[in-house]
Structure 1
Amino acid sequence: MKRIAALLLTLAVALCAALPVLAADTIEVTEDVSVSDDYDWTRFKGQNVTLNVYNWGEYISNGSDDSVDVVAAFEKLTGIKVNYTTFDSNESLYAKLKSGAANYDVIIPSDYMVAKMINEGMLAPLDYDNIPNFQKIDAGYRNPDYDPQNAYTVPYMLCTTGIIYNTTMVDEAPTCWADLWDEQYAGNILMFNNSRDAYAIAAFKSGHSINPATPEEVDEVVEQLKAQKPLVQAYVMDEIFDKMIGGEAAIGVYYSGDAITMIDDNPDLAWVFPEEGSVLSVDCMAVPAASEHKEAAEMFINFMCETDIGKANSEYIGYTTPMHDVWEVLDEDLKTSEIAYPSEEDAAREKVFTALSDEVNSELDLKWSEMKSYDEGGGSYLFLLLLLAMLALACFNIWRKVRRKTRNQY
């Protein structure tokens, strides 16, 4: 009996050794993802809850290229269905919510848009009893100017803006934002198609603050953008992926994480942190005031702050995580990337957006619209002049014929 008992014990030990080792306080969701087990992830199962999540394009690990399908993992764990859609700029997100054309439960705006939405009562205060993983957010990213007590937002990812260029189309690597006004790149420049990021680039170039204090300051900086416009091939957001990867433009501006993605797809591309400095932005998870599933939305936010989920998202999209425990387990190439994690010298030149006054915001929106339509308006005006000239010429020819006919009759 002792021999049999010993044999059974040996087999049990061997079997346990062969099984996956899971921490005592985690639940395995997929082969690559475990989550905390001290959270009630299943309280909405069987209730037919659907969350509408509105995020930037290319901004979540989606299961492609052997990555974790984060949305599918959340649905499997919680029984909550996710209707996941994307936007390409803070401004389009704001316009969609403001119009009431759609009802969302989780959105991911950037810092300056967060401040605007808070001021306009567009966000719901968060119940952190439903988001205990907020404690994983590094202290340096808590209680920011745009949301002083983190009453409305949880940081998702961080990024900087910079210059991406094609090494086969550029003789000498750009070094500064001012290079985007160089006529040698005429017709080959891609510029941000949103007012705040584009304005910041012109402000860096001209030595102004990226956070204008007066309408007059806005006017001065937008003149720089107006001067640049004849050189610009297109104002883009997500369209930059196809254009830069496909070699359709020599130089462009975009966000750091997306630059990593583009460089992975086209090794001829390279990244520059401009010498004038760059914008450090924080994209945040928030719940719109009109959400019909606030508690489930907070569960989604808590899920996104799980270490395995944060790791999967950061490694897939290449953006900077605000969670130190995620950084510690990142792939070494990303952890040491100077695009995702700039040097101390570069980081010292980063600036952050702050909330603008209503007066300044209105002026920026107005001047941006005027700048964007400047050439188009000029083109339409020239077309109208040409049309009038052609009409005048036709009338003149008709008059000559009538006059000649009258003369002949005389």
Structure 2
Amino acid sequence: MYKKLSKILSLLLVAVLSTFAFSGCSKSTSTSSNTQKSSEEKVVNIFTWANYVPDDVVKKFEKKTGIKVNYTNFSTNEEMLAKLQAVKGSQYDVVICSDYIVEVMGKQKDVLMQPIDKANIANYKNVDTKYLNQDYDKGNKYSIPYTLGTQMIVYNPDKIKTEIKGYKDLWNPELKGSMVLVDDSRIVIGMTLKKLGYSMNETDKTKLDQAKAELKKLRPNVKVFDADTPHNSLISGDTSIGFMYGSQASAAVRANPKLKIVYPEEGMNIEEDNFVIPVKAPHKKNAEQFINFMLDGEISNAATTANEYINTNLAAKQFMSKEYLNNRAVFIPDENFKKGEHFKDLGDAAKTYDLIWSEFKQQ
């Protein structure tokens, strides 16, 4: 009886295990099939800021390749990082994000990016080498530059009679209630640190306390905080001086040619935005096609001209208009670029920056 029962149990166990094995095999086969199906889809999922890839450029890519672009927006690099972590580096095929966040992603325990196979991106050769091999991604293993951004001072000389040369001049009491600042903690705290002679990436508590004290002195001068359209208050005359992105400065000067642009003598922040392929991108080949398309000289020019960002593509220059080439908000002199500083990962000090910024705005 016992042997018979044991034999029956053994047969049942084999049957159960066989069922699980078959089920597992079926699941594995199904997963493999789904992966293959995804990779063959004529789709590419782009994740970046709104309008960062102009609609007409997207349409040209779709027409040329037959690949449909699904475009998803984020507002900040940090929001992008949180979403990419939530999906474990899947769902998206191409992410366009800033330099320091590439560094942050490279430090994550869970891998979020995959190395870019430049052999599949022939137009990589068009990228100006001075923008490559930066500290945030040595050798550009995971990222390829798309555009460059920086911030500058813009002011109305009809209303501001004092000489403006750098960050220190923004603290002039004569500017009380006349200033617009781009609503960004890293940028404003960074320029304050630069005014004090420190790095924009400072993490030392004593130096950050000094920056906090300096910002308290600046606060009476600030009338408007605006992340997206700080130039509008300059154009309307609501403010007389501002610190904003080059693309925003360009829009301001185009609307009012009397406005003047100043490259801060203390040194500028240089931000490179990059193409990145997430580690589990469902359509890797389509991602490579998209990046290669965006690095074409004519396409690159169309994309950056529309948004008035600094172009990193040597092959794009031949397509640029004379007006664009003479735009001081877009083409920064080499001496200013060399003095520039990239943002880096702040680590735990990021919380201190958030507290400083919160207190500054609430004053």
Question: TM-score, normalised to structure 2's length?
Answer: 0.78
Match runs of 1:10-409 below 5 Å: 48-57=41-50, 59-62=52-55, 69-100=56-87, 103-120=91-108, 121-172=111-162, 174-212=164-202, 214-353=204-343, 355-356=344-345, 360-363=346-349, 365-374=350-359
* Code of the aligned partner of 1:163: I
8 A Cα contact 1:222 1:367, kept in partner: no
**Counterpart position of 1:22:** none
- Cα offsets for 1:49-72 (capped at 9, x unmatched): 43332333453444xxxxxx1011
Whether the 8 Å CA contact 2:181–2:230 is kept in 1: the answer is: no
Contact 1:130–1:298 (8 Å) recurs in 2: yes
Deviation at 1:95, TM superposition (A): 4.0
- Deviates most, 152-161 or 95-104: 95-104
Q: CA RMSD in A?
A: 2.9
The structural deviation recorded for 1:108 is 1.8
In structure 1, what is the Cα distance between the partners aligned to 2:122 and 2:177? Answer: 50
Aligned to 1:402: none
Deviation sequence 1:110-153 (CA, Å, 0-9, x none)? 21121112212332221223312111112222222111121111
For residues 329 and 375 of structure 1, what CA distance do their matches in structure 2 show? 44
Compared CA separation, residues 219 and 295, structure 1 to 2 (3 A): farther
**SS of residue in 2 equivalent to 1:340:** coil
CA offset digits 1:281-326 (Å, max 9, x no partner): 2111112334322221221111100111012123222222222221
Cα deviation, residue 239, structure 1: 3.2
| Bigger relative CO (Cα 8 Å, ≥ 6 apart) | 2
Q: What do the CA deviations read for 1:161-182 (whole angstroms, capped 9, x no partner)?
A: 2112234543345221122222
Question: Max radius of gyration: which structure?
Answer: 1
Q: State the alpha-carbon separation in 2 of the partners of residues 95 and 235 from structure 1.
A: 25
Equivalent residues, number:
324
Distance 1:375 1:113, change over 3 A: closer
Rounded to whole Å, the distance in 1 between the matches of 2:179 and 2:83 is: 29
Unaligned runs of 5+ in 1: 1-43, 63-68, 379-410
CA positional deviation for 1:275: 1.6
Equivalent position SS for 1:51: strand
Cα distance in 1 for partners of 2:107, 2:360 equals 34
CA distance in structure 2 between the partners assigned to 1:58 and 1:234 by the alignment = 24
The answer to whether the 8 A contact 2:297-2:317 is kept is no
Cα 1:139/1:370, change in 2 over 3 Å: closer
Aligned residue identity for 2:348 = S
SS in 1 for 2:310: coil
CA contact (8 A) 2:179 2:241 kept: yes
1:235 partner amino acid: F
Judged with a 3 Å threshold, the aligned counterparts in structure 2 of structure 1 residues 242 and 89 are, in CA distance, closer, same or farther, namely farther
| One-letter amino acid of the structure 2 residue matched with residue 295 of structure 1 | K
The verdict on how the C-alpha distance between 1:335 and 1:227 changes in structure 2, with shifts beyond 3 A counting, is same
| Inter-partner Cα distance in structure 1 for 2:221 and 2:161 | 18
Q: Deviations over 1:25-68 (max 9, x none)?
A: xxxxxxxxxxxxxxxxxxx9x96543332333453444xxxxxx
Distance 1:85 1:60 in 2: 11
Aligned residues with identical type, % of pairs: 31
Alpha-carbon spacing, 1:236–1:98, altered in 2? closer, same or farther (3 Å):
farther
Is residue 320–residue 341 contact of structure 1 (8 Å, CA) maintained in 2? yes
Report the CA distance shift for 1:56/1:170 in structure 2 as closer, same or farther (over 3 A).
farther
Once residues 293 and 157 of structure 2 are traced to their aligned partners in structure 1, the CA distance between those partners, rounded to angstroms, is: 40
Q: Any unmatched runs of 5+ in structure 2?
A: 1-36
